[in-house]
Structure 1
Amino acid sequence: MADEPSNGELGRLIQAMRTDMREDMDQLNRRLDKVVPLDVYTIEKNGLSERVTALETQRKEDSERLVATRRWMIATVITVVVAVLPYLASIVKGASA
């Protein structure tokens, strides 16, 4: 019977265990407060996915617009050169005559 704890010792051990459990639960609650809820995560993920899709679409449209602009500029330069070339040729012939 000498190895068995007294009632006072048992009470202190139980109180210490309760204190440890409370501290552990408080730590767990603090960590859980930092966790993002699944529905919020899903909404944010879907929003990001939509933004990326919109940006990819915009990028594709911009590159197509850039190609069209380059083609227009090249066609304009060629048209101007073709229109001005005969005029320049006549000036050069007139100056050499």
Structure 2
Amino acid sequence: MGDEPTNGELARRLDAGFDDLKEDMRTLAGRLDTKVDASLLALQQQAQDDRHQALMMRVGAIEEERAREAERRQQEQREAENRRAGDKRLILTALVVPLLLLLLQVYLASRGSSG
């Protein structure tokens, strides 16, 4: 009987076990209070997915607008290049051709008066 605990020691061990059990129950209760309900979590995730989808749509619209703006700029550049080419042709016909005609007339006049 020397190895067996006394009644008082058994009572102390049981009280310590109950105290540990109570502390564990308090910890679990605290964790359960902070736990999110599954339906609430699903609603939050759905709301987050909706926000994400809306943002993706806005980003897509912005990208499309930028692409249209880039296309407009390219079109304007092509038009400007065409105008420049037209201006070059105009300069050629308005300035150079009359000058060449004048030189031709002077040349023909000088040949005609000497011959």
Q: Give TM-score scaled by structure 1 length.
A: 0.72
Moved more, 46-55 or 57-66: 57-66
| Equivalent-residue separation in structure 2 for 1:86 and 1:11 (angstroms) | 109
In the alignment, structure 1 residue 61 sits paired with structure 2 residue 26: no
Name the larger-Rg structure: 2
Which stretches of structure 1, 4 residues or longer, exceed 6 Å deviation after superposition? none
Residue 58 of structure 1 aligns to which amino acid in structure 2?
A: R
In the alignment, structure 1 residue 88 sits paired with structure 2 residue 88: yes
Counting aligned pairs with the same residue, the percent is 20
Deviation at 1:10, TM superposition (A): 4.5
Q: Could you tell me which residue of structure 2 aligns to residue 39 of structure 1?
A: 39
Q: Over the residues paired in the alignment, what is the CA RMSD in angstroms? A: 2.4
Structure 2 spans left out of the alignment, 5+ residues: 100-115
| Equivalent-residue separation in structure 1 for 2:65 and 2:5 (angstroms) | 88
| Equivalent-residue separation in structure 2 for 1:4 and 1:50 (angstroms) | 65
Deviation at 1:92, TM superposition (A): 3.9
Structure 1 spans left out of the alignment, 5+ residues: none
Counting matched residue pairs gives 95
| Equivalent-residue separation in structure 1 for 2:20 and 2:78 (angstroms) | 85
Deviation at 1:95, TM superposition (A): 4.2
| Equivalent-residue separation in structure 2 for 1:12 and 1:77 (angstroms) | 93
Q: Give TM-score scaled by structure 2 length.
A: 0.63
| SS at structure 1 position matched to 2:36 | coil
Deviation at 1:27, TM superposition (A): 1.8
